[in-house]
């Protein structure tokens, strides 16, 4: 007995030390986690080559030259290719993002022409352009030093030899940026342009020539500007939400599940430390939706523990010893945990493959969280539970008992549930038709789906809708020339979202200046995002593609695992129901449909299928044990009843995490969190009230 207690104490101490060590190490590595622009602040821009099919060499050369350019702003700046003809630029931590966008501008063609307008040199024949300052007898002069490629050096030598005493114009994107006089033939491959009145003027000319020397002409597709202060506020509120949500969930688990709840809390604490370490190890770029993915995965991590603990209670209720019940509980819960997590991982994988930016970040953190939660539940929770048992917590009273009770007649209400769901979905169609008649769109599409510029402004006071319409909108309309300015207040904050047509950099800067001058807004609390119609059309296509592919892959997996197409068909019909109900919410509430809409839908799909699989797993088990002793209706009702507590508790813990995130999160997180809460409730309802009933109806019809 003493030996057993000693082993238990040692095991528990090892686990607690691991929690402390990994927790400290995870906290210590938080500063090393790469932050996305929505957290670090900065500028992000996506360019597309004007040329339809650029070569790999042209793309590679353009990326290299842009990388050299943006390194002047931040050593952490990144330039990378997307697809075959797009280039993304991320410059974190910069303070004057609009100025950078203006300087980068729209990289266009750069040419050198003689006085007759003949092109003598092109921009891609310029190897480098640098500003310089010279002091002669106390007088400062400012220059631009040019170095040409081998091909450019020969062309420039020929041109200057033929044009001594004449001017050579440098034209960028149709405008003359410099028109220097050739004093002598230049044959060495290098030259200087003088006559600038300041170093800033020289630097601007050098920057223009460098951008113009790109191998490809580029056009801006989308851009995003985020103030660093807003990013820090987002981190602070999200971490607070995570801490509060975790504390509530841990307390809930210990109250409801007693000693197993303590074991789960130890495992969850270790899980949080490990996920922070993995984010650093895999160099995952953490974004706001990524934080939401972690917080959501903490809520979902509870699911595996709840399934296990429910099984342990049942085994104790059947008269088994606690030690035997723990072993059997883990074994019986394994298939439901694995199947549920694999189907959710399918949704995360599709999100990662088809998503971009913040959506991909959400998918990455969600996938890491799902895998890690499964490992901690199956191994860490088990170790903690055996250690606590060995310490003397051997009585069933520490674990709870769940005896078989009379099955609830869920199938008796199936027709009512079918009608209720149909009414909600039809109501959604009616709301979409009404929206279409009023606005021309069935949903309140955000800028990601329509194109345009969205500017988030945090005012110093809470402005009413009347004040916004009377004071802010006229200022915006005058600057942008847009008569159809749309505004939206973010509930509980001083933040206002202003949506306009797509603005150029000058208009965005003018709008920011107007907000500062007219309303005393802090410039750092203004963010702006622009997106072209081409990208928004692609996002719509990607949304449909992602949902269809994820659903199809889940159907195939469930069919493979359960060897019955009716299980898969029932699950997919329930998922379709959940998607339509959440779309109904978007339509009725006129909730903004943006880039997170795709992530939200697939998260709901993955979450709902997880709950459904737990019920199907129990139906499959009871079918094997029943041997025809129970009617099909009794068996389905029994299976849903046995898993009902698990369904409610898992949904409740996940809902708590997302609800705290909604209360404390910034506007972009709230946009994601509210429909997710609707999806959690809907997914629980469909799993409990619809999936088993649909499987029963299909199976009965086949028999008849």
337 falls within a domain: yes
3-state secondary structure 391-431: CCCCCHHHCCCCCCCCCCCCHHHHHHHHHHHHHHHHHHHHH
- Residue 107 binned pLDDT confidence (cut-offs 50, 70, 90): low
Rg of the Cα trace of the chain? 31
pLDDT, tens only, 221-279: 777 776 656 566 777 777 788 788 888 888 998 998 889 999 988 888 888 888 888 88
Write out pLDDT tens, residues 117-158: 899 988 888 888 888 988 877 788 899 999 998 999 999 999
Q: How many domains does the chain have?
A: 2
CATH code for position 495? 3.30.70.600
State the pairing for strand pair 486-489/452-458. Answer: unpaired
669: its two tokens? 């997180």
Domain match, 564 and 545 both: yes
Grade residue 165 by pLDDT with cuts at 50, 70 and 90. very high
Task: Tell me 34's DSSP state.
Answer: P
**Do 377 and 458 reside in the same domain of the chain?**
no
CA–CA separation, 275 vs 281, rounded Å?
10
Is the domain of 509 the same as that of 633?
no
CA angle 145, 151, 154 (to 5 degrees): 75
Q: Is residue 40 one of the residues assigned to a domain?
A: no
CA 507 to CA 484: how far, in whole Å? 16
Q: Phi/psi zone of residue 113: left (φ > 0), alpha (ψ -120 to 50 degrees), beta?
A: beta
Give yes or no: residues 457 and 383 share one domain. Answer: no
Q: DSSP string spanning 54-106?
A: --HHHHHHHHHHHHHHHTTT-TT-EEEEETTTEEEEEEET-S-HHHHHHHH--
Angstrom distances, CA of residue 489 to CA of 365, 462, 617: 30, 9, 45
| Among 531, 554, 575, residue at a domain's last position | 531
Whether residue 703 has pLDDT greater than 70: no
Alpha carbon distance 567, 696 (integer Å): 10
Residue 76, in any domain of the structure: no
Residue 45 bridge partners (DSSP): 89, 223
Please classify residue 240 by burial: count the beta carbons closer than 10 Å to its beta carbon, then call 0-12 exposed, 13-18 middle and 19+ buried.
middle
Sheet containing 190-196: give its strands across: 126-136, 139-148, 190-196
- What string of H, E and C letters represents the secondary structure of 208-261? HHHHHCCCCCEEEEEEEEECHHHHHHHHHHHHHHHHHHHHHHHHHHHHHHHHHH
For residue 687, what are its two tokens?
A: 């799993």
For residues 257 and 240, membership in a common domain is answered with yes
Mean pLDDT, rounded, for 494-523: 83
Q: Are residues 691 and 553 in the same domain?
A: yes
Q: Residue 549 and residue 442: Cα distance in Å, rounded?
A: 23
Choose among 191, 186, 225, 188: nearest CA to 206: 191
Average pLDDT over residues 61-67: 78
Q: What is the dihedral of CA 48, 50, 53, 57, to 10 degrees?
A: -70
Residue 693 reports pLDDT greater than 90: yes
Predicted TM-score (pTM) above 0.85 = no
CA–CA gap between residue 661 and residue 365 (Å, rounded): 16
- Tell me, yes or no, whether 489 and 576 share the same domain: no
Least confident of 95-109, 162-176, 301-315, 635-649: 95-109
- Indicate if 506 and 549 belong to the same structural domain: no
Residue 127 counted as domain residue: no
571/475 same-domain check: no
| Residue 65 forms part of a structural domain | no
For residue 470, give its domain range: 452-531
**Considering the domain boundaries, does residue 5 fall inside one?**
no
Same domain? 613 vs 591:
yes
Q: Within 106-175, where are the H helices?
A: 150-162
d(CA 234, CA 35): 12
Query: Tokens 């500017």 sit at which residue?
Result: 455
Q: Is residue 132 classed as helix, strand or coil in its secondary structure?
A: strand
> Does 388 map to a domain?
yes
Instruction: Write the DSSP assignment of 363-384 as a string of letters.
Output: HHHHHHHHHHHHHIIIIIHHHH
The pLDDT tens digits for 77-105 are 788 887 788 888 888 777 666 667 666 65
How far apart (Å, rounded) are the C-alpha atoms in residues 353 and 32?
26
Mean pLDDT (the chain) is 82
Token pair of 61, please? 């050369």
CA distance 397 to 189: 88
Pick from 531, 556, 583: which residue ends a domain? Answer: 531
CA distances from 669 to 3, 391, 547 (A): 51, 43, 21
Q: How far is CA 468 from CA 132, 454, 473, 476, 500, in A?
A: 48, 16, 6, 11, 15
- Per-residue pLDDT of 450-470, as tens digits, reads 777 878 888 888 888 788 888
Q: Is residue 66 part of a domain?
A: no
């Amino acid at each position: 007995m003493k030996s057993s207690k000693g082993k238990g104490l040692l095991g528990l101490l090892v686990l607690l030390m691991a929690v402390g060590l990994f927790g400290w190490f995870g906290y210590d590595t938080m500063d090393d986690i790469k932050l996305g622009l929505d957290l670090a602040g900065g500028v992000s821009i996506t360019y597309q080559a004007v040329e339809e099919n650029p070569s790999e060499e042209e793309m590679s050369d353009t990326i290299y030259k842009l990388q050299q350019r943006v390194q002047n702003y931040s050593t952490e700046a990144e330039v990378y290719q997307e697809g075959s003809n797009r280039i993304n630029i991320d410059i974190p931590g910069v303070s004057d993002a609009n100025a950078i966008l203006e300087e980068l501008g729209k990289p266009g063609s750069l040419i050198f022409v003689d006085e007759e307008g003949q092109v003598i040199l092109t921009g891609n024949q310029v190897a480098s352009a640098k500003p310089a300052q010279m002091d002669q007898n106390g007088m400062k002069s400012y220059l631009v030093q040019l170095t040409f490629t081998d091909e450019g050096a020969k062309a420039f030598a020929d041109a200057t030899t033929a044009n001594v005493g004449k001017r050579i114009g440098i034209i960028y994107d149709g405008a003359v940026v410099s028109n220097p006089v050739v004093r002598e033939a230049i044959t060495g491959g290098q030259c200087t342009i003088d006559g600038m009145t300041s170093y800033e003027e020289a630097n601007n000319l050098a920057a223009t020539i460098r951008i113009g020397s790109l191998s490809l002409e580029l056009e801006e597709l989308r851009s995003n500007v985020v103030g660093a202060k807003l990013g820090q506020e987002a981190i602070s509120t999200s971490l607070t939400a995570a801490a509060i949500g975790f504390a509530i969930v841990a307390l809930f688990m210990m109250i409801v599940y007693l000693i197993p709840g303590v074991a789960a809390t130890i495992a969850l604490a270790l899980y949080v430390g490990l996920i922070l370490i993995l984010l650093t190890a895999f160099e995952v770029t953490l974004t706001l939706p990524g934080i939401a993915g972690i917080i959501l995965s903490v809520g979902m991590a509870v699911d595996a523990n709840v399934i296990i603990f429910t099984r342990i209670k049942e085994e104790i209720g059947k008269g088994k010893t606690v030690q035997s019940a723990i072993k059997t509980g883990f074994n019986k819960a394994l298939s439901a945990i694995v199947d549920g997590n694999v189907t959710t991982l399918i949704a995360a994988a599709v999100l990662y493959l088809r998503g971009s930016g913040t959506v991909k970040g959400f998918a990455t953190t969600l996938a890491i969280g799902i895998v890690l939660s499964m490992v901690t539940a199956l191994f860490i929770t088990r170790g903690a539970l055996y250690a606590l048992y060995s310490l003397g917590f051997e009585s069933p009273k520490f674990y709870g008992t769940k005896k078989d009770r009379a099955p609830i007649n869920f199938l008796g209400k199936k027709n009512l549930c079918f009608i209720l769901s149909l009414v909600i979905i039809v109501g959604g169609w009616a709301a979409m038709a009404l929206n279409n008649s009023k606005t021309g769109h069935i949903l309140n599409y955000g800028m990601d789906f329509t194109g345009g510029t969205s500017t988030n402004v945090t005012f110093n006071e809470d402005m009413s809708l009347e004040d916004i319409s009377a004071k802010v909108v006229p200022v915006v309309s005058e600057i942008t020339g847009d008569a159809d300015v749309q505004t939206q207040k973010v509930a509980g904050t001083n933040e206002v979202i202003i949506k306009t047509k797509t603005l150029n950099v000058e208009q965005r800067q003018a709008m920011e200046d107007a907000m500062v001058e007219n309303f005393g807004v802090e410039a750092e609390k203004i963010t702006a995002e622009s997106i072209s119609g081409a990208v928004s059309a692609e996002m719509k296509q990607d949304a449909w593609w992602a949902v269809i592919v994820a659903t199809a892959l889940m159907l195939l997996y469930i069919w493979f695992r359960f060897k019955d197409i009716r299980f898969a068909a029932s699950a997919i019909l329930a998922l379709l129901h959940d998607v339509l109900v959440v779309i109904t919410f978007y339509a009725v509430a006129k909730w903004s449909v943006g880039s997170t809409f795709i992530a939200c839908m697939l998260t709901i799909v993955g979450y709902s299928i997880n709950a459904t699989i737990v019920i199907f797993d129990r139906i499959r088990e009871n079918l094997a044990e029943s041997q025809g002793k129970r009617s099909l209706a009794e068996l389905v009702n029994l299976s849903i009843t046995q898993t009902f507590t698990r369904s409610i508790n898992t949904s409740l813990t996940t809902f708590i995490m997302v609800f705290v995130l909604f209360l404390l999160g910034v506007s972009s997180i709230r946009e994601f969190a509210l429909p997710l809460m609707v999806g959690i409730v809907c997914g629980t309802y469909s799993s409990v009230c619809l999936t088993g009933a649909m499987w029963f109806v299909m199976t009965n019809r086949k028999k008849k």
